[in-house]
Structure 1
Amino acid sequence: MMKKDNIWIGLACVVLGVFIAFQMKFIQGTYLNGASPTQKTTEIINELTVVKAEKERLVEEIERLQDQLDKIQNSASEESAVVKNLTDELNRFKAFSGMTKVTGTGIMVTIDNPPKDLNVGLEKNIALDYKMLLDLINELNSAGAEAISINEQRMVNSTEIRLAGSQVNVNTIPISPPFIIKAIGSPSTLDGAVNIRFGIVQNLQESGYYVEVRQVENLEIGAFNGSMKFRYANTVK
């Protein structure tokens, strides 16, 4: 009886061995592409190593590109700031040179001939006393006026005030009384400069001319509308 049991046990072991061998063969052929588990594990580890290396390379590339992008953005920002500063500086010099309209506080001085019925002897004409206008402009400049106009003609470095018949030429444009002079600056300082005792306003009034000085909170002075050309002056490099 024991001998018969041993035969059955041996036969079962053989069948089990064949079944296990068949399963291993099936797994190796279906899932491991014919390779042994050890070989497949090695292949997976190698592939994982390659993928990790590729990932590290891509991370480094992303960091490099991000750094490059940051530099471009910073450069663009710095360039934008430089352009803005240059534009602000250009606009400031345009304002100083009279090439742009400006607004601000200041004073407005109106000068006119006396009424005809008050004239005694020769008829008074402020145009004939244009040098008093020059004195007024000089006082305003000395008091810190940042922009001046006469009858809407902007004063610049080439502006002339000269007699032309019974009129006055300003920027080659003939103007007639009443003369309205606008000056942007400190209203109190400009007012005090022209209204000082024995100053230009008093001289004009004693000469018989009508003079009115008003402090203005929001004064507008237009840009110089002529042309400026340099034929003899050159910039120094």
Structure 2
Amino acid sequence: MPGDEHDGGVDGLDLHDGDARRDGTGEPEPLTAEHPRVGRDDGSQPGLPGRIVSQHSRDKANDRTKTGAFPVVRKRKPKALSSNARSLKARFGTGLLIAVLCALLAYAYVIQINNKDMTYETLTETELTRLISETSTQVERLEQRKSELTNQLKSLEDAADKEEQAQRIAQENEETSGILSGRLPAQGKGVVIRISRPQKAPIDAATMFNLIEELRNGGAEVIQIDNVRVVTSTYVSETSSGLVCDGQALATPYVIKAIGDPSNLANAVNIAGGVGSRLTVKYGANVTVETSDDVKITATQPVMKYKYATIVE
């Protein structure tokens, strides 16, 4: 009834009791995760939402904590085998396989001969024919495989020989080209020519260039004047201070080195009426020719860059 209502509540409910819920027997229900007990906010102890927020903050702090990082180990790439190593490896493998097949064939043949348990007398004509046919087929297959492996081995040997020969030829061509073009130093039999300071008149460029041509006609393979390597594009000019070869000034006494047959080169200079006689008679210079078995030419020329000439394809 309205008169039976109490202040601040309804009959049968205790609004101030938030510590427990009661079941039908009047006993308080046990607390579970689905029905937590909410404490009074009296400041004495934080409630469940506060504890959840605090735990969540601690979990975030732990997640941000840095741990050690494992080092990354990178796999190294295997070194590529050279062409010689690959050919040797293939050759060795093919030979080994041929040897194994031959050994297996011989072993099977010996086992078949020494097999005392097999009594061919008890086999029928059909079984004997089938056995002979199977054995012949196996022998033919092994012989065919042997022939294939032998051809492969021969092909590998020929390819290896051709590759080695091509490399050798390429190296020889590189050396020959380097010597002819003046890129590489050279040594060998030849002559060393020394021309003293002229007493009558300065030696002109035409006479010096004539000396170079006489040495080339005598079979000179490599020529050097003072510190200048003579090549196909070499020139000699005159200035007020003396001779210039490929932009470098020449000083007396002039020293010319040439590699070739020593006797032919000496005769090219000392021949009567030749360039040696002209240097002595006309210019008053003393010319000496010394033969040697070890003439070293160390001067080199940079690689010439061609503007118009190209290789014919």
| TM-score when normalising by structure 2 | 0.51
Is residue 138 from structure 1 mapped to residue 138 from structure 2 by the alignment? no
The aligned counterpart of 2:180 is 96
More helix by share: 1
Deviations 1:10-61 (A, max 9, x none): xxxxxxxxxxxxxxxxxxxxxxxxxxxx9xxx99x99998788667645543
The one-letter amino acid of 1:209's match is A
Structure 2 residue 251 is the aligned partner of structure 1 residue 176:
yes
Offset at residue 140 of structure 1 (A): 1.1
Partner-residue secondary structure (3-state), 1:169: strand
Q: Does the alignment pair 1:220 with 2:296?
A: yes
Give the distance between the partners of 2:130 and 2:258, measured in 1 at CA.
85
- Identity of paired residues, percent? 31
Q: Distance in 2 between matches of 1:226 and 1:63?
A: 54
The letter for the 2-side match of 1:163 is: E
Give the letter aligned to residue 250 of structure 2: I
Return the alpha-carbon distance in structure 2 between the equivalents of residues 51 and 223 of structure 1.
75
- Contact residue 182 and residue 302 of structure 2 kept, 8 A: no
Is the counterpart of residue 191 in structure 1 residue 266 in structure 2?
Answer: yes
- 1:129-159 deviation digits (Å, cap 9, x = unpaired): 2322112112112222111110132110111
Counterpart Cα distance in 2 of 1:110 and 1:173? 18
In the superposition, relative to structure 1, how do residues 46 and 135 fare at CA in structure 2: closer, same or farther (>3 Å)? closer
1:191-217: CA deviation from partner (whole Å, max 9, x where unpaired): 112112222112211222232111222
Alignment of structure 1 residues 71-86 onto 2, 5 Å = 71-86=155-170
How many correspondences in the alignment?
Answer: 191
Output the CA distance in 2 between the equivalents of 1:162 and 1:58: 78
SS of match in other structure, 2:187? strand
- Equivalences for 1:141-180 in 2 at 5 Å? 141-180=216-255
Matched-pair contact (CA < 8 Å) for 1:159–1:170? yes
Give the residue type in structure 1 aligned to 2:305: K
Query: Corresponding residue for 2:41?
Result: none
Contact 2:181 2:301 in 1 (8 A): no
What residue ranges of structure 2 are gaps of 5+ in the alignment? Answer: 1-121
Rate the CA distance shift 1:234–1:63 in 2: closer, same or farther, 3 A.
Answer: closer
Distance 1:235 1:63 in 2: 44
Answer 1 or 2: which has greater strand percent: 1
Q: How much is the aligned-residue C-alpha RMSD, in angstroms?
A: 3.2
Q: Which position in structure 2 is the counterpart of 1:12?
A: none
The equivalent residue for 1:210 is 286
When Rg is computed on C-alpha atoms for both structures, the one with the higher figure is: 2
